Chains A and B, each alone.
Chain A
């Protein structure tokens, strides 16, 4: 197994629901006008509490500071686990469960907080830049670690270290809605722009055609990310109905996902040993 430290320097921010209107301009620019920014890493996730925006420093420049914008202080680096094609691992997938076991658990032992970001294409594990040396030390045993700099992969080595284990237990909530993980040809992004804007920024307004789900067990969740030119969307089935079927890519089996929500309270940064945003895939139903 290889672990790649990607060449992005990320900021994790949160925009409150009420302050969204202040940020629609930069967000639309980041989503739809790719040529106008040099942002290579962008992810927007709507949760019941707020909008979480993860983006690189180029993209971060677009966001004006205000009381509605909460910025996590440190710079985060994305890690990516890839199977290096060895006989043992090429047949089995590199899912979050495997990552949880092989990456997150060792990091938890070192009290390193991580931030999971899953897309249609892959899973990213975000760690704070200052924790990087600890990360490398803890994972160098199991992974070949490479740091990507300007397109080249440079091997990283470290001395090993070990520490005690401490585990927090959090309640898990499983809301009722079913989610789709989908992708999209970036060239066709303009074709769904209005729907996307509608879903992203007007999710609270009543829609005439759609049945408004009053069930409190349902949870508002929508995620959009565009990383290195790859678009990934996570939405519930209700939202998906608004999109044309022929543009979004998904699995031929049409698999759906359920959410397992951990904590359930407004999520702060850096408080949890087990990260907050990997709940999508942890509770796979199909």
Chain B
């Protein structure tokens, strides 16, 4: 279709490795892998992998204006060439000597009046038919359909008349076309309709696109438009046609031919070629004059013209096949996906494959999928046993935990960390903390019901407990089992005792007895920790005993004996060799608890930084230690510092310090920010003392998100259990809506977005294309923008308009609000039969069932109304 002087390119319809470049002559090329034995020395490289070999040149046809390749397999290289004087010549490339070809090659189809031939098209059904579009003539037709097999040359043309058309072998000249169409105007472009081979789409007829049916040429369908320079039918969607004019492309649907379905954004320069990709659905490539880029329009998601609910989404992008050079023309490869060859004005060719846009989908169950071209890739988490729990995605962990009833053990609260898998020290610490808090609060409750401020103190964390501390006594205790006095000051108060309880070191009671705690540690095989706790309680013998036990236990570490020996040599003499060696060698100990034991023994009284800031030691042990050995000035400072560290790090061990207070929510926020673990956050905060923390919007947000997560996983029962659990713990939570209308496509509740967050258009951002923000319509799902079901009666998509968002109304508008607050008229409500699941607008359904008992859906015989007991009742107002 381009002018003869700029090279155009044409793929063979049957040989995927051959194409023709036409400018002033026709050159046939074969494309093959670069560097293979097949390619000869003269091969032109087209890309890194491919090269082209020139097979044949044909320069028999001057003044070429357009070329069309014979669509049948045989003869293989037959081309029709339209010339500037309107003649169409059949010619061939390459030496194919078969008889049928010989008969046809050289045949000329001559119009009555000479003028430029603009376009040619072979009929896809009857390959003898060739349509030619010509410029206008005052008294002739502009579209001639020739039969190339015809030998009939109507009147014997007198010799002098032939003079103008040059020397002619009359057997090869056809002057009588099969059909003539379109008078007194030019035909700029034409194509046969693939759906019906008798129909022809013409562009340029009196500024019209017109469809002629050859069975009745007097009738035509036409539409007035400027976009007539070229037409091309989408090979994948035969009712879709692109036509262009200057810089504008219009997309038409032949079933609704009155106006374009849409037009593409106008280009500043005139278009020279527009072509649908034959290997990819809905991909249109356009080229403008003197440009080095090809623009691609992806219309894959464009709806049918009848589905006018959603605005068409077109993704526009551009490719630059050869870096700087201007592109003269391009042609899609007929079979290789998204591949094209481009040619520059000086005939430099380039083989190029358009990289497919990648679309990505992330399922709620951590599987990731993406599609590229015709390939679909799935990336799932390795579910094998080899994967360490720590490497699992939090969503997977949360799913597993939800299935194992994580968070639901309200009696033995600490067990929840076992339900969570039991391998996360932070969760372990958190659940123990919560366990101790609840335990203390419970016993407190039983014993002293009147002391409610103490009650709340338990929840407010050690940080606040310590601050309220008063009446601390300082004592010098003896090493147990010896009457030697230590020079270590030891502090005690009621609050400190409470803190120790919360740390789990001691159980309730007036005296400090860590023996049960030590026993439980021994049972769990935490020898070092037990020894350290014993030592901090100034019981070296117990510590040594524990270490010995540890060494002799199954799988015990024999080194513990050595440690025990080292420990037994303790002396409080300041300058002893023991002290000197221990303080330097302790740093080489790998086990943190062993390390802090020697740190404690070698420290000056009151300067226990080596113990307090040993981060590998559990926070609860360090805090308990601090509560015993730091004075009233040091202790709050240390706790504050530690609490802030924990808050910043989002370390759940810090909940011990912050308690379930606003501070605790801050800490949890930082934890959730890092891990996304809304599950733990929700359960933890639900354990809080009534009211306070649950009112925090962050907590509400975690809870809502966790519930949505359960919904998205389709853990309906878990969600219900959670709701029950929640209503037990949080009496203020109002009864929640239990029935939702969920979208057929994404499964989310369609009312969800109204209540929670502002909707973000997904359609464009998904592709990383900045587009106009798409407004969500009432009749589409706010989650995924897909249309909602249609009403069985009016066939309109359902949807309830939101007239006003709650909370926006001002006080003086309150009177109106009561009415406005209603989401929609009852008539617009969703209604459906629970049996056949058909339904529609409530108003329509009501009026239908006033006269009918059967479902309005034509093929459905469900007697919806009779299934409903109220269906037999007569409304009171009609009596």
Q: Would you call A253 an interface residue if the criterion is a C-beta within 8 Å of the partner chain's C-beta atoms?
A: yes
Question: Given the complex of chains A and B, what is the CA–CA distance between A93 and B184 in angstroms?
Answer: 8
Closest to A181 in B: B138
- Assess A83 versus B183: contact at CB under 8 Å? Given A249-B86, A254-B163: yes
A74 in contact (CB, < 8 A): no
B411 within 8 A of A: no
How large, as a class, is the contact surface on chain A?
35 or more
Q: How far, in Å, is B529 (CB) from chain A's closest CB? A: 88
A118-B184 Cα distance, complex, nearest whole Å: 13
Q: Which of B138, B164, B205 contacts A250 (CB 8 A)?
A: B164
B112 touches A252 (CB 8 A): yes
Residues of A within 8 A of B184 (CB): 81-83, 94, 122
Contact-size category for B: 35 or more
Contact A120 B210 (CB under 8 A): no
| Contact pattern, B 786-826, Cβ under 8 Å of A = 1, otherwise 0 | 00000000000000000000000000000000000000000
Decide: B161 and A123 in contact? CB cutoff 8 A: no
Bound CA span A252–B182, Å: 19
A118 is contacted by which of B111, B138, B182 (Cβ under 8 Å)?
A: B138
In the complex, the answer to whether B115 meets A188 with C-beta atoms within 8 Å is: no
**Closest chain A residue, CB of each to CB of B136:** A121
What's the nearest-Cβ distance from chain B to residue A231, in Å?
10
User: Which of B115, B163, B205 has a CB less than 8 Å from the CB of A249?
Assistant: B115
User: Is A187 in the interface zone, CB < 8 Å from B?
Assistant: yes
Least CB separation from B220: chain A residue: A85
Docked CA distance A2–B85 (Å): 28
* A122 partner residues in chain B, CB cutoff 8 A: 136-138, 184
**Chain A residue, CB-CB nearest to B222:** A85
Q: Is B670 an interface residue (CB 8 A)?
A: no
The closest CB in chain A to the CB of B110 belongs to A252
Which listed residue, B116, B160, B166, B226, touches A152 by the CB 8 Å rule? B226
- Complex-state Cα separation, A156 to B519, whole angstroms: 105
User: Would you call A185 and B183 a contact (CB within 8 A)?
Assistant: no
Contacts of A82 in B (CB 8 A): 183-185, 206
* B210-221 vs A, Cβ < 8 Å mask (1 yes, 0 no): 100000011110
Contact B139 A95 (CB under 8 A): yes
Q: Given A85-B205, A86-B218, A121-B135, is A251 in contact with B113 using a C-beta cutoff of 8 Å?
A: yes
CB of B59, distance to nearest CB on chain A (Å): 15
Q: Given A82-B185, A94-B184, A252-B111, are A185 and B218 neighbors across the interface (CB < 8 Å)?
A: no
- What's the Cα separation between A153 and B205 when bound, in Å? 13
Residues of A within 8 A of B164 (CB): 245, 250-252, 254
CA distance A185 to B3 in the complex (A): 11
CB of A187 within 8 A of CB of B183, answer: no
CB of B846 within 8 Å of the partner chain:
no
Q: A119-B138, A183-B115, A230-B136 are in contact. Are A153 and B207 (CB under 8 A)?
A: yes
| Of listed A230, A248, A252, residue having the most chain B CB within 10 A | A252
Any chain B CB within 8 A of the CB of A70? no
Write the B163-186 contact mask toward A (1 if CB under 8 angstroms, else 0).
Answer: 111100000000100000011110
- Residue A242 interfacial (CB < 8 Å): no
Known: A85-B182, A249-B86, A254-B161. A230 touches B110 (CB 8 A): no
Q: 1/0 per residue A218-237: CB within 8 Å of B?
A: 00000000000010000000
Check if B639 is an interface residue, CB within 8 A of chain A.
no
Nearest B residue to A180 via CB reads: B164
Residue contact A251 to B205, C-beta cutoff 8 Å: no
Q: Enumerate chain B residues within 8 angstroms of A212, measured Cβ to Cβ.
A: none
Q: Which of B136, B139, B161 contacts A252 (CB 8 A)?
A: B161
Quick check: A187 and B3 within 8 Å, CB to CB? yes
Pairwise interchain contact B114-A249, C-beta atoms closer than 8 A: yes
Q: Does B503 contact A (CB under 8 A)?
A: no
Q: Is B263 an interface residue (CB 8 A)?
A: no
- Chain A nearest CB from B135 CB (Å) reads 7
**Nearest-CB distance from B259 to chain A (Å)?**
13
Whether A271 is near chain B, meaning CB under 8 Å from some CB there, is no
Q: How far does the alpha carbon of A185 sit from the alpha carbon of B63 in the complex, in Å?
A: 9
Query: Smallest distance from the beta carbon of A239 to chain B beta carbons, Å?
Result: 15
A246: interface (CB < 8 Å): yes
Q: Is B224 an interface residue (CB 8 A)?
A: yes
Are B84's CB and A185's CB within 8 A? yes
Interface centre among B157, B164, B165 (most CB of A within 10 A): B164
Cβ-neighbour of B210 out of A2, A85, A87, A148 (below 8 A): A85
- A151, CB-defined interface residue at 8 Å: yes
Q: Which of A85, A87, A121, A249 contacts B85 (CB 8 A)?
A: A249
Q: A151 touches which one: B160, B161, B207 (CB < 8 A)?
A: B207
Whether the Cβ atoms of B135 and A230 lie closer than 8 Å is yes
Q: Are A94 and B116 neighbours in the complex by a CB distance under 8 Å?
A: no
Task: List A contacts of B160 (CB < 8 A).
Answer: 254
Q: How many angstroms from the CA of A246 to the CA of B164 in the assembled complex?
A: 8
> Is the C-beta of A158 less than 8 angstroms from some C-beta in chain B?
no
Q: Does A22 contact B (CB under 8 A)?
A: no
A90 at the interface (CB under 8 A from B): yes
Q: Is A84 an interface residue (CB 8 A)?
A: yes
Shortest CB-to-CB span from B178 to chain A, Å, is 16
Taking CB atoms, residues of chain B closer than 8 Å to A4 are 206
Residues of A within 8 A of B110 (CB): 252
Interface string of B79-116 (1 = CB under 8 A from A): 00000111000000000000000000000001111111
Q: Contact check, B206 vs A2: say whether CB atoms are below 8 A apart.
A: yes
Supposing A121-B135, A123-B138 touch, asked if A252 and B113 sit within 8 A by C-beta, the answer is: yes
With a cutoff of 8 Å between Cβ atoms, the chain B residues found around residue A253 in the complex are 112, 157, 161
* Complex-state Cα separation, A152 to B110, whole angstroms: 33
Supply 6 further A-B pairs (C-beta < 8 A) apart from A120-B137, A121-B138.
Answer: A82-B206, A90-B218, A120-B113, A188-B63, A246-B85, A246-B166
B residues with CB within 8 A of A: 3, 5, 63, 84-86, 110-116, 135-139, 157, 160-161, 163-166, 175, 182-185, 205-207, 210, 217-220, 222, 224, 226
Binding site for B on A (CB under 8 A): 2, 4, 81-87, 90, 93-95, 118-123, 148, 151-153, 183, 185, 187-188, 230, 245-246, 248-254
- What are 16 pairs between A and B in contact, CB < 8 Å? A94-B184, A120-B137, A121-B135, A121-B137, A122-B136, A148-B207, A152-B224, A152-B226, A188-B63, A188-B84, A249-B113, A249-B114, A252-B113, A253-B112, A254-B160, A254-B164
Closest 3 CB pairs of A and B: A249-B114, A87-B218, A185-B84
